Structures are given as structure tokens and as C-alpha cells.
Amino acid sequence: MELDRDLCSLQEARNLIRAARKAQEALMNFTQEQVDHIIDVMREAGEANAARLAMMAVSETGMGNYNDKCFKNYFASRTLYESIKDMKTVGIIREDNKQKIWEIAEPVGVIAGIIPTTNPTSTVIYKAMIALKSRNAIVFSPHPSAVRCTNEAAKLMHQAAVAAGAPEGVIGCIMNISMGATTELMKHPSVALILATGGSALVKAAYSSGKPALGVGPGNVPAFVERSADLPKAAEYIVMGKTFDNGTICASEQAIVAEECIADELITHLKRNGAHFLNPEEVQKVSKVVILPNGGVNPKVVGKDPKFIAQLAGISIPDQTKCLAAPLSGVGSQWPLSYEKLTTVLGFYRVADWHVGCERCLQLLEAGGIGHSLAIHCNNEEIIREFALKKPINRLLVNTPAAMGGVGATTGLSPSFTLGCGTWAGSSVSENVTPLHLLNIKRVAWHQRIPERKPVESMKVDGTAQVALSQTSQVDAQLVQEIIKQVMQHLNSIKC
């Protein structure tokens, strides 16, 4: 009997989970040396196929650009490996001799890996490597627009892992993708944890599945440029971050907020770096094609270059344009380009000073990027400190391209393609996700001390408390006497 497509998809998900569960039972007994060898071979496979996977991703999704996709795949392979290769994830991973505590790492179990269309191959490499580093099997659910390249990346990682000694089925990927299959993957009893990277609806579904989940929210990253900034460098880095893979990284800059006193000079440098500033009429035309009436970004423009967007909007731009900049005066539905735009379009705001700039950045974050990231170009540490202390974000990226700084390519943050947004955004994690987030940590604690107990009468209390204590004692004494009296009466009645 031939099964319908949805039933085939559902059965495929169950088969992959079953195979992953069997592999998990074997993998959990591997030594640190075995695990480290496996991820080294996976790293080698990721590097060797970075260019081919990049070409497949661009060809299938139509998003981003080949060179930056190559870098992403290499970053998810080599840079990630260098960051985690010496990380202890097996057995006793920490001993605190002072407090007499051992910490012991255990895998969480089979992981459901949800993959976005914006980073369909690099995210697979990254999640596969951190899963196996922590001795977890993983099953991927691709985005419907990136099934072929996501499956190819998963296949390469699986082949490399098995060649290095990992059990068959340790990495799986659904080929006949459907919403039913993804739901089955997230809710299956054998799945221990969901590692979700994707749109808000999908992340909410992960948290609503009843399973532990590590999901991340959207980014609407403001880039604040303060008067003390190195303006040529700030302009260079903002354009670099915004145009990296055509804006598909959630940490990429979405709007520039510049102090009025340096705004014109900054615009000059931005133009030199390829930013084309739109006039009011062009802003309206671009707004209509980039943002949908409901406020979401138009899928047609995600990861596209400015030439494509200009043609769609019916405007003319210089050939050398790298990104479009739209001067805006407010945040919200009246200014659609104030929302997150996963493409080569930036908002641009002028503010009187850094105090007003601080408020404008907060408005932008509240419009759709709360908890994620904020970039600041500034050489005044007092102002940087104010932003760090007051803003509801988990990454303040200083004098660096936000897109690359957020994922840890140009900063000291952990290399990651899953950037936690904390409780501000409804996320259970607030930092860049690493193998350590995919472990259960057991603790062995030795007897250290006997708690000191002071007699009640030796405790110091104020006058009011002393009176209350005295009254309570009197009440308690009366209550005890009454109980004794009732008990004696009951005993006498029994004797009779």
C-alpha cells in the first residue's frame, strides 16, 4: 500500500528518531578521546565541503551570496572546532577542591534540530558538532525552502562522524518535510531537547511542545554611533555587517542611530562604503516591497542584494550600491522599515545626543529585537557602560560589525549560530549556545560543615518582635494546657 505524503513524512521522522535513540545509547558511553576525534573529522569534512555547500544553499534558497556562505560554513567548522576542542564534556569536567564538589557531564539525549532557510548548511554543521561534542544524537528538520542543501550538510556530517567511529543514525535529517513531521520530531517521547533556530512562530511552537527547548528570538539590532566614534571605521563596519550574506544573520544591523553633530559626516563615510540613501518617495516604495502589511518581512526580499530590491520597488540606484539606507523619523507601523529586515536595507535616525539615542535604540528593540543585540560605535567608556547597564539586550557589540560580532567571528563571544535572547524575548538561554548547554551536569558534594544553631532566647529581636514573641508563647502555652485537659477528660471517660 502506498502511503500519502504526509504519512510518509511522519513515518520518516519516527524512523530517524528511532535510529537516533539507538545511536544515543551507544554514544553516551564514548570517552572524551573518542568524542574529540569524531568532531575533528567532522570539522575536516565541513571545511572540505564549505564551498560546495555554499553554492547549494544559494542556488536552492536564492538567499545570501556565495562568498559569505563559504565563510559561514568554514566558521561553523574550523572556528567552532577551535573554540570547543579542549572543552571537557565527558565524565568529571570540574573539581572544586575548596568546596569539595565534583561536576559530572551527562548527555541530554536525542536532540531535535530546527534549521532556518537563512543559514541552512552552516547551522547544520554547527549543531551537529556541538551535539556530538556533548554525546548527543540529533535529528534535523529543514526549512521547506532548503531541504536539499540541509540534507546534504547533514549527510556529510553523518558520514564523517560514522567514519570516525560514531554509531549509525547519530545524525539524521527529514527529507519529506512537513509540519506534521516537524511537530512529531519536537513532541516525540524519545526526543529530550529541542534546539530551535528560525522564525518566531516556530520558536514559540518549540517552547509549547512540552519539551525542554533552546530557542532564540528575532533581532532588530540598532547601531548607535556616538560623537567619539572613529567615523570612517564605524561606517565601514556597519556596511560590512549589514551586507554580510545579504543581511541574513539575525545579529546584523537593522538601523543606524547617529548623533546629530556627526550625522552628516557619518553619511559621507557610509556613502563611500556603498550605502545609497533613499529620498522620501523611494523610502515609501521600498517600504511597500520589504515589509508586509502585517509588519513581517517580505520573504521575496530576504537575503537579496540592493539591486533586486530596487528593481522590485521600481527605483534606480548606482551600480556600486551595497545597501540601501532609509532616513526615518519614528518607530512603528507608520515607519515599516523600523522593523527587522533580513536583507540589505537599513533605517537611519538622527538624534540630539546619546541620551535621546539611548531611548531611540530602546524603541527599536521593543519593536522586535528585545533581548538580542545592540551595536555601539563609541570610544567613551562611560557611555558604553550606560548602554550596557540600561538596555534589555544580551550582547552589546562595541566597535565591530554586529553580524560578525554577535556570532563570535570578530569578538570573544562563543562561536555560535544560535544566539540566546533571554527571558526578555521568551528564551530560556541568554548567551551564545555551546556544547555545555546540551549537557546535564551532575554534582557530587561532600559534607563540609555542621550548621550553627542558636537557642531562641539568644537571638536578638527588637522590642516589637519581643512583645509578639511573648504573646505568641502565652497563647501557645494556653493551647497546650487546653489540649492536655481535653485528653485527660477523654481518658477518664474511657475508664468509666
Which residues are marked as active site? Answer: 250
Name the residue among 324, 336, 333 with its Cα closest to residue 256. 324
CA distance 395 to 421: 9
CA distance 285 to 78: 42
Name the residue among 68, 66, 50 with its Cα closest to residue 58. 66
Enumerate residues 6+ apart whose C-beta is below 8 A from 466: none
Helix-then-strand count for the chain, H and E: 17, 15
How far lies 130's CA from each of 134, 434, 437, in Å?
Answer: 6, 6, 9
- Do the bridges between strand 221-225 and strand 371-377 make them parallel or antiparallel, or are there none, so unpaired? parallel
The answer to whether 313 and 307 have CB atoms below 8 angstroms apart is no
**DSSP-based three-state secondary structure for 247:** helix
Q: How many CB atoms lie within 10 A of CB 265?
A: 15
Cell 553619511: give the residue. Answer: 267
Beta strands in 334-384 (DSSP E): 345-351, 371-377
The answer to whether 143 and 115 have CB atoms below 8 angstroms apart is yes
- 445 beta partners: 101
Cell of 349: 535616525
CA distance 310 to 24: 50
Name the residue type at position 3.
Answer: L
Name the residue type at position 220.
Answer: N
How far lies 228's CA from each of 6, 74, 458, in Å?
Answer: 58, 35, 60
Cell of 110: 536525542
Q: How many CB atoms lie within 10 A of CB 391?
A: 21
